Structure formats: C-alpha cells, structure tokens
C-alpha cells in the first residue's frame, strides 16, 4: 500500500547550527556568561576575568613560539645552498654554486669583468665572494668600489675584442684621449703615451696617477701582478689575516679618481715603494690622512 502524506503534516526544517559566541570564547562554565547579566558592575567583572584568561593564553603561546625559535636547528651546508657572495648590481647577498664561487676567489678578473668579451654591450654582473662570516672588511670594500668607479669612467676608451679572444688574458692599448668627448674622463685617468703603446691588462688603467701607471708598465714582467693586485685590495681573493689588512691594502677616502684621496698602508708602502717613485702626491695624501688619525708620517727615500 502506498503511503499517504497528509497536507498538514509538518515537514522537517533545516537545522541552524549553534556556535559559541566570540565574546565568550574563554568561558569555561555558566558563571562566565555575562550576556544575560543586567548589573553593569557584575558584567564588567566577568568580562575582565575572561580578558585576563585570554591574555594569559596569548602570552603562553608567544613564550612557546619563542622557545621553539630559539632551539638550535641543523646547520645547512654551504654546498647545499651555494656560497654566499655579494652581488654589486643587487646590493645584496646571493648564493652562487660552489664551483662558480671557487673560480671567483681565484680569478682576479672576475671582480672587474672584462669589457672585451663578446657580450660587452650588455650590463655585466659583478659578484664578490664573501668571507666565512659573510662580511667584506671595510678597507677591502672601499678600495673595490673605488676601482669599479674608475673602470666605469674608462669604458668609453675600452676597445672591442674579437669573440675568439680570451677575456682573462686580453691585453689592450688605449686610444688617444682626443677621441673622448670633453668632460667625460677626469684628467687623472687620461691615457699616457705608454698606455697607448704598450699592451697591458685593463687593471693598470684604473690607477688615478699617470706616473704610477707608467712605472707599472715599465716594470711589467719583473714583478708578480697578481700579488700587487691582491695587496691593493687587501687580499680579498687569496686572503690573509685580518690583522694584516690595514698593513697591506689601499684606502680610498675621496672620489677614486682624485689621487689625493688615496692612502697606501704602511706595509704596501714598504713593499711596493719602488713602484711609487715620482708619485709625491701619494706620499703627501697618505701622510695627511695618517695625521688626522694621530699616526706618524711615512718617510720614503728612494735612491736614484
């Protein structure tokens, strides 16, 4: 027999779920329900009790979070993320694959990318390998920034190279400065006759003193160029103890194309003084900066 549904029979209605009121989230017993309390003082006491309870729970969660964050975590190996390096274009620390970072540490030209590569027209990315504590000592970084600034000024003079040339060993001579628009290049960086005639690597051109540049060019082949470069920038690539940085580097206190702002450290002066013959401005500038720090003048005597 078919079932009969009476028209007046009540149909099931959709149920409305009951949820806890947000203002009673901390209530644990009926005495914590202040919604039906008409006495203002009593209602305020209950609300204060709930607020205190919520505050204590919040503080407990924060304490637990801080405790977890302070727990030592397994150290991530550098080889997994790469070696931390400073990206000059981003002004930030980046992680470079270990193989690439090792070439940066051992490759002098990696610091100042050669403009004689086939991609010279594109913007070059400068990446500096960092020390174990991810810091570049101030004296090193100061000298690097100065040399990079001078190289940027010299870009209009840099010749283009054939694609087959090896950037790491590329030699060049600079063109006559008359080919450069007036005001583009500081006088201290104007190419000398030797720079226009003796093939050399471009790091020589960054020195803002024509006599010193010529002294270096005349002595090419008689000294270790890598050693001079390392001592100039404070041993950033090969590295040496931090206690020796102030004795083996060069400091640049003013625009890097002004030789008066260059200060050679005492160790650099005694080691490479023979290259500085005729560069009286370097000695004068160095002693001026030393006097400001209360240090004695460097006295340099070169036999003729």
pLDDT (tens, 9 = 90+) of the chain, 304 residues, equals 444 444 445 455 555 555 566 667 777 777 777 677 888 888 778 877 777 787 778 777 877 777 666 655 544 444 455 655 656 555 566 666 766 655 554 444 444 444 434 344 444 555 555 555 444 555 666 777 888 888 888 888 876 544 444 444 578 888 877 766 667 788 899 999 999 999 998 889 999 999 999 999 999 999 998 888 878 876 555 554 545 555 667 888 888 898 888 888 888 888 898 999 999 999 999 999 889 888 889 886 644 4
Would you state the pLDDT for residue 70? 64
Bridge partners (DSSP) listed for residue 87: 92, 127
| DSSP 3-state of 288 | helix
Cα 270 to Cα 188, 247, 287: the distances in Å are: 24, 10, 14
Spatial strand order in the sheet of 83-87: 92-96, 83-87, 127-129
Q: Which of 82, 107, 115, 116 is nearest to 96 (CA)?
A: 82
- Residues in contact with 225: Cβ distance below 8 Å, sequence separation at least 6, in sequence order: 201, 203
Q: In angstroms, what is the C-alpha Rg of the chain?
A: 35
Contact 25, 54 (CB under 8 A): yes
Which tokens is 167 given? 């950037």
pTM summary value: 0.55
What confidence score (pLDDT) does residue 171 get? 85
pLDDT for res 241: 52
pLDDT score for 275:
93
DSSP 222: S
């Amino acid at each position: 027999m078919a079932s009969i549904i009476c028209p007046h029979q009540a149909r099931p209605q959709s149920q409305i779920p009951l949820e806890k009121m947000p203002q009673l989230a901390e209530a644990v017993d009926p005495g914590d329900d202040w919604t039906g309390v008409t006495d203002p003082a009593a209602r305020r006491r209950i609300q204060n009790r709930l607020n205190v309870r919520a505050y204590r729970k919040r503080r407990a969660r924060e304490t637990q979070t801080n405790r977890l964050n302070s727990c030592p975590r397994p150290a991530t190996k550098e080889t997994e993320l790469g070696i931390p390096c400073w990206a000059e274009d981003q002004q930030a620390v980046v992680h470079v694959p270990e193989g690439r970072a090792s070439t940066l540490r051992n490759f002098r030209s990696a610091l100042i990318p050669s403009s004689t590569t086939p991609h010279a027209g594109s913007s070059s990315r400068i990446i500096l390998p960092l020390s174990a504590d991810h810091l570049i000592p101030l004296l090193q970084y100061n000298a690097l920034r100065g040399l990079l600034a001078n190289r940027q000024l010299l870009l209009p003079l840099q010749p283009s190279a054939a694609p087959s040339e090896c950037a790491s060993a590329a030699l060049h001579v600079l063109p006559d400065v008359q080919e450069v628009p007036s005001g583009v290049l500081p006088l201290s960086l104007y190419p000398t006759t030797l720079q226009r005639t003796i093939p050399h690597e471009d790091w020589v051109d960054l020195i803002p003193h024509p006599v010193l540049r010529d002294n270096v060019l005349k002595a090419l082949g008689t000294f270790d160029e890598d050693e001079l470069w390392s001592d100039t920038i404070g041993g950033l690539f090969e590295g040496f103890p931090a206690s020796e940085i102030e004795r083996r580097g060069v400091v640049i206190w003013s625009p890097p194309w002004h030789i008066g702002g260059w200060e050679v450290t005492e160790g650099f002066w005694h080691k490479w003084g023979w290259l500085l013959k005729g560069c009286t401005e370097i000695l004068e500038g160095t002693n001026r900066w030393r006097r400001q720090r209360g240090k004695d003048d460097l006295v340099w005597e070169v036999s003729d």
